Amino acid sequence: MQLLDTSEIDRRRVLGVGVAVPGAVDAGKRRLLLTINLSWRDVPVADIMEPLLGLPVVVEHNVRSMAVAEVRFGIGRGLESLGFVYLRTGLGAGLVVEGHPFSGGVHGAIEIGHLQVLDADQRCVCGNKGCLETVVSDRALSRAAADLDVNGENLLRAIWDVRDEDPRAELVIDRVVAALAQGLATFVNLLNPELILLGGALGAIPRPLFDQIVAQARAAVFPVIRESVQIEPSSLGGDVGMLGGAAVVLEATFYS
Ligand SMILES: [Zn+2]
């Protein structure tokens, strides 16, 4: 409301408000069904916000909305298929297929963070063992950074920066790269989108680390599709979530 007031945009020209939530949403794009990391379950986001805003609200999975933003406004403009992988609290993925967000049969939840890629017996927040998020998530990286006594806004970058002085940091990096590459290779082998973009903390890591992840992922991809694999940093930076919110309203109003 404050934003609308200060922007002086005529309210009648605002189609709606897109809310990108960190979890699966219902088919009507009105409710958040489950966010394990926040312990949120079945939250009627649109019903809560619409009376407060006086505008239609569209609720979408946060990373899927980022994938839509990239095909509408970013480097993926015009592509038929695009995958987006986002690292923040957890590791999420979103997919665009035939130019539209792919919601799938079970509310479009693509739980890349809960692919079991490791033989480790570490328990994940989801209840399973060996999930990608037990190595690549804010929680896992915070634990590793505390052990190494490093700090920073981007923990992956901070750990990378001390790898020459501390062999334990190098081990953490090796493990993150291996797990992430395995997850990305599985994503490519199953879905093979034209372009995969990495965002959040993964969009702001040093290029040599990024290239290492891509090289290992590429090596693990099935040979016939290996050459066509394209993995790049998100082109919309820190604004991708906000643009995703706008993109899903346009999607619901014009493109669906
Ligand atoms: Zn898990």
Distance from the alpha carbon of residue 12 to the mean position of ligand 1, in angstroms: 44
CATH number of the domain bearing residue 140 = 3.30.420.40
Residue owning tokens 């239609």 = 56
Contact of 65 with 12, CB cutoff 8 Å: no
Which residue in this structure is represented by tokens 């806004």? 153
* pLDDT tens, residue order, the chain (256 aa): 788 888 888 888 999 999 999 888 988 889 999 887 788 999 999 999 999 999 999 999 999 999 999 999 999 999 999 999 999 999 999 999 999 998 876 665 678 999 998 776 789 988 999 999 999 999 999 999 999 999 999 999 999 999 999 999 999 999 999 999 999 999 999 999 999 999 999 999 999 999 999 999 999 999 999 989 999 999 999 899 999 999 999 999 988 7
Q: 78 C-alpha vs ligand 1 centroid, how far in Å? A: 33
Taking ligand 1, which is a single-atom ion, which protein residues have CB atoms under 5 Å away? Answer: 114, 124, 126, 128, 131
Q: What is the pLDDT of residue 107?
A: 61
Domain extent at residue 52: 2-255
Residue 142: how many CB atoms within 10 A of its CB? 12
Burial string for 59-73 (b: 16+ CB within 10 Å, else e) reads bbbbbbbbbbbbbbb
Q: Taking the model in full, what pTM does it have?
A: 0.93
How many angstroms separate the alpha carbon of residue 17 from the centre of ligand 1?
31
Instruction: Tell me how far apart the alpha carbons of residues 54 and 127 are, in angstroms, rounded to a whole number.
Output: 40
Spacing, Cα 3 to ligand 1 middle (Å): 37
Measured in Å, residue 137 CA sits from the centre of ligand 1 at 11
Q: How far, in Å, CA of 225 to CA of 184, rounded?
A: 13
**87 CA to centre of ligand 1 in angstroms:** 14
Question: From ligand 1's centre to the CA of 92, what distance in Å?
Answer: 11
Report how far residue 182's alpha carbon sits from residue 179's, in angstroms, rounded to the nearest whole number: 5
Domain count, the chain: 1
The pLDDT, as a whole number, for residue 118 is 79
Residue 125 CA to ligand 1 center (angstroms) comes to 6
Tell me how far the alpha carbon of residue 90 lies from the centroid of ligand 1, in angstroms. 10
